Structure 1
Amino acid sequence: MGYAFTYPLFSYIGGSKVACYIHYPTITKEMLTRVARRVITHNNSQRVANNPILTSFKLFYYKVFALLYSHVGKYSDIIMVNSSWTEEHVIQLWNCQLKTYKLYPPCDTEDLKKITHSKTDGPVKIISVAQFRPEKDHPLQLRAMYQLRQIISEELWDNLKLIFIGSTRNEEDEVCVKDMQDLCKHLSLENNVEFKVNLPYEDMKKEFSEGLIGLHAMWNEHFGIGIVECMAAGLIMIAHKSGGPKMDIVIEDPETCRNGFLACDEVEYAQTIKLILHLSQDTKTRISQNAVSSVDRFSMEEFKNGFLTFTQPLFKVMKKSS
C-alpha cells in the first residue's frame, strides 16, 4: 500500500525511531520478471501483456518505483517480516539483513485445535478458505477438480464436494464469485462445488469438523493464515508450492513429519487429492495430528513474545534519550 514512503517523514523530519511489520513488499523482483516476460496475471492485464509498448512503460515505472522503495526502506530502524519469503524479498530490495527479523503473524489457532472430526454419512469435503480475490486463484482449484474427475472412480467422485469459504469486500469481489460460479457450470462441477460467502465463524468451524482436505492455490502467498487455520482444524492441507506455504508452513520431508502437501498446477493438485483419498486411515490421522501440532509456532503468544523482543532496542534508545 506504499506506507514505506512515510518512513523518511517520521525518521528524518520528525526525528522518530521507525519500526515496521511487512506483510507483503509493495514490489518484488518477481513482479518485474513477470511483466518483462509479458505474463498475464491479476496485476498484469492481458491488454498490457500483449502490447510491447505498454509493457515497456510499465516495466520502466516498476523499476523507478523499486528504486524509490529500496531507498525509503532504509529509514526503518527495526524491520519485522511475516515469513521467510517476505524476508528474502525485503533483504534483496532494502539490503538491511542485520535489522530484519522474521516474526510470523498471530494466528488464533487455540479454538480451532479443539475441533473434533466426527464421521458423517455425507460427502467427503475439501475445504478452501480464502477471500474471493483474483490473486487467490480459485479457478485453479476448479480446474484441479475437473482433472480429478478424470482420474478417480465415478463412485468416489459422486461422494466428493469442494466447499469454497470466503468473504467479499466489494462489488469487484462479488463479480469474482460470479465468474467462478460460471466456470463451475462450464466445467460441469456444480453438483460437487458449493460457495459459502461471508460465512459466520461458527458455521466455518462446523465445515472444518466435517472436512478431510484443505485447499489453497495462491502463487507466492506471502504467508497463508487461511492455511494455518485449516491445519489447526486438522485438515490435510494442499497448498501452492511457492512463497510462505512452501518455505514456512508445510513440511513434506521427512515423511514421518509430513503435515501437508504442496502442488503447483491443476494436474498436481488433482493427483495429490487422489493420493490423500486413498491413504490409509492411520496415515491420514498421523498427517492431521502433525498439522495440528505444527501450528503452535504461529500462535498469538509466540507473536507477542517475538514482537516485544524485536522492538525492545527501540525503547532502550528512547529511555536513554529522555
Structure 2
Amino acid sequence: MASLGILTLPLATLILALIVRIILVVVYHRRRRCNSVAFFHPYTNDGGGGERVLWCAVKAVQEESPDLDCVVYTGDHDASPESLAARAIDRFGVKLIRPPKVLHLYKRKWIEEATYPRFTMIGQSLGSMYLSWEALCAFTPLYYIDTSGYAFTYPVAWMFGCKIICYTHYPTISLDMLSRVNARNSMYNNDALISKSAFFSQCKVIYYKLFSLMYGIVGSHAHLAMVNSSWTQTHIQKLWGIPDRIKRVYPPCDTSGLQILALERSVEPIKIISVAQFRPEKAHMLQLEAFAAAIKILDADLPRPKLQFVGSCRNEADEKRLQYLKDRAKELKLDNDVEFHKNVTYSELVSLLGGASVGIHSMVDEHFGISVVEYMAAGAIPIANNSAGPKMDIVLPEEGKQTGFLAQNLEEYADAIVNIIKMTAYHRLEMAAAARKRASHFSEQRFYQDFKSAVRPVMSNTTP
C-alpha cells in the first residue's frame, strides 16, 4: 500500500501541474481578448448549406457591427482572406463587405470521422474541444460564433471569457436517433451489427443517453442559440433546456436570384435534379433506385426523364460514395439517363436548376433543407422526405395550393416522379408557381434581418 501511495504521488503532482497550467493559459488569454468576432468553421470548403450560412453570417456581422474584425477559424491550410471572399461569391453569390481574417487550425484530424471508427460521435465531440483550444489559444475573440454545430467547444470558449453564439443546423444527437436505436432500425448511423443485437442495441441506448446528458450540459453554455427549423428548435429546447436563449432563424436561401428563372421548362427530356453533398445521410442511392423504378413503370409514349446529381465531396469517403453511385447507374443501365456534376460553381448550379422541372431530396430528418427551397424558388417541383424540415416548414400548401410531394420510401419516390411526369404542362406550371411563392418565406434577406435581430442584444451589451 505504501508503494502504491508513492506511485500515485507523482501522478497527482502531474495532474495538479496540468490544471495549474490550464488555468494560467486561460487567464492569460482572457486578458488578451480582442474586440472581434471569430467564426468556428473548420471546413470552409464543404460547399453545403452550412458554408452558405457561414458567409451570410459573416456579412450580417460586418453590416451590423462594422467596427468589429471578423476572423474565421479554418482547417483548410490553403485558405486566405482573398480566397475565402472569392469563394463566397463564386459558390454562393455572397459578396462580403471585406475579406475576413483567417486563422489556420492544424489539429483538424481530431474531428474527422475517420479518426474514430467506433464511438465516432463522442470522439469527434471531444476532439472538437481540443481543436477549439488550439483556436482560442491562437486568437481569443470577444464573440465566439459556431456555425458548424460543435457544441462541445462552448465550455472551452466560456472558459476563455467569450460570448458564445451558435447557429445549429442539426442536433448532434436527437430523440429520434435514440428511438431508432431502441427500435433496432438499421441506418447510416446505426449499422446492422448493432441493430440485429438486443445486447448491443441496449448498450448503444445507454451510450446515447449519456451523450444526450453531456450534450445538454455543453449546449447550455451558449448565450444565444439560433436554430434553423421548427424540428431543430424542438430538439434543442428539450436537450439544452435554455428556451429563452433559443431563436429560430431560417437559413439563407437564394430565392431572389433563382426566382428570375423562367417557370416554363423543356420537357424533352424532363430533368430531375438532386443537389446535396455526397454524404451517406443524403441517401443518393435511394434516389437512383427510385428513378430506375419510375422509368420501368412509365408509359412507353412518355418522354424518358434525366436525373442530374449535383454535389460536392469533402473527402475520400465522399469520393468513393460518388464512384459507387456511378457504378450502380451503369449496373441499372442508366448511363445515358444520369449525369454527375461535382463541385460546380454557383453560376453552373443556377444554370442546372433553371433547366430542371423536378428537384429530389431524400435525407431522413433533414434539419431544414436549403436545397428543397432552392428547387422551389427556381421553379422545380420538390419531392422531399416526409420528415423534419421539409415536412414541418417547407413543403406546405401556399394559399391552398399544393407545392410539392413528400415521400418516405422507394415506391413513394418513384410514384411522385411518375405523377409529375404525367401532369399536364398547365398543372405542372401551376404547382411550380405555388412552390416558388412558398420559397419566398426563406429568402436570404429574411436571414439577414432575423440574424441581426437575434445577435443584437448579445453583441450590444458586452465590453472587452
Quote the residue 1:220 is aligned against: 365
> Match for 2:213 among 62, 67, 70?
67
Looking at structure 2, the residues matched to 304 and 208 of structure 1 have their Cα atoms a distance apart, in angstroms, of 24
Identity %: 40
The aligned runs of 1:32-181 (5 Å cut-off) are 32-116=178-262, 120=266, 122-156=268-302, 159-181=304-326
Compared CA separation, residues 69 and 170, structure 1 to 2 (3 A): same
User: Which moves more between the two structures, 239-248 or 265-274?
Assistant: 265-274
Counterpart residue number, 1:279: 423
SS of 1:199 mapped into structure 2: coil
Distance in 2 between residues matched to 1:279 and 1:300, nearest whole Å: 31
Written as runs of structure 1 = structure 2, the 5 A alignment for 1:189-208 is 189-208=334-353
Range 224-233 or range 203-212, more displaced: 203-212
**Matched residues in 2 for 1:85 and 1:121: separation?**
35
Shift, 1:16, TM fit: 4.1
| Cα pair 1:251 1:261 within 8 Å, conserved | no
Shift of 1:21: 1.3
1:315 aligns with 2:459: yes
Distance 1:209 1:7, change over 3 A: closer
Equivalent residues of 2:398, 2:438 under 8 A apart: no
2: distance between equivalents of 1:123 and 1:226?
Answer: 22
Q: Structure 1 stretches of 5 or more lacking a match?
A: none
Residue aligned with 1:285, SS: helix
The code of the aligned residue for 1:310 comes to A
1:232-243 alignment, distance < 5 Å: 232-243=377-388
Partner residue of 2:443 out of 299, 304, 310: 299
Quote the residue 2:130 is aligned against: none
Conserved in 2, the CA contact under 8 Å of 1:252 and 1:261?
no
Query: C-alpha distance in 2, partners of 1:207/1:105?
Result: 22
SS in structure 1 at match of 2:185: coil
Query: Deviating runs (4+, > 6 A) in structure 1?
Result: none
Distance 1:317 1:33, change over 3 A: same
SS in structure 2 at match of 1:165: strand
Spell out, residue by residue over 1:52-88, the C-alpha distance to the aligned partner (whole angstroms, 9 max, x if none). 4433333222211111111222222222101111001
Tell me the TM-score normalized by structure 2.
0.64
Answer with 279-288 or 20-29: which moved more: 279-288
Q: What residue number does 2:154 align with?
A: 7
2:434 counterpart of 1:290:
yes
Quote how far apart the aligned CAs of 1:99 are.
2.2
**Structure 2 regions of 5+ residues with no counterpart?**
1-123, 126-149
8 Å contact kept, 1:25–1:90: yes
Determine which of 17, 26, 31 is the counterpart of 2:177.
Answer: 31
The alignment status of 1:19 with 2:168, answered yes or no, reads no
User: Does the Cα contact within 8 Å between 1:85 and 1:244 map onto a contact in 2?
Assistant: yes
SS in 1 for 2:446: helix
CA contact (8 A) 1:127 1:208 kept: yes
Deviations 1:20-76 (A, max 9, x none): 211111111111122222222111222333344433333222211111111222222
Q: Which amino acid aligns with 2:381?
A: I
Report how many residues are paired.
Answer: 317
- Secondary structure at 2:461's aligned position in 1? helix
Query: Are the equivalent residues in 1 in contact too, given 2:398–2:437 (CA < 8 A)?
Result: no
Matched, 1:248 2:388: no
Report the CA distance shift for 1:245/1:121 in structure 2 as closer, same or farther (over 3 A): closer
Task: Please report how far the alpha carbon of residue 259 of structure 1 lies from its aligned counterpart in structure 2 after TM superposition.
Answer: 1.9
Alpha-carbon separation, structure 1, partners of 2:366 and 2:460? 35
Deviations 1:68-111 (A, max 9, x none): 11122222222210111100110121222222111011123322
Q: CA RMSD in A?
A: 2.2
Distance 1:250 1:119, change over 3 A: closer
Query: What amino acid maps onto 1:142 in structure 2?
Result: L
Higher Rg: 2
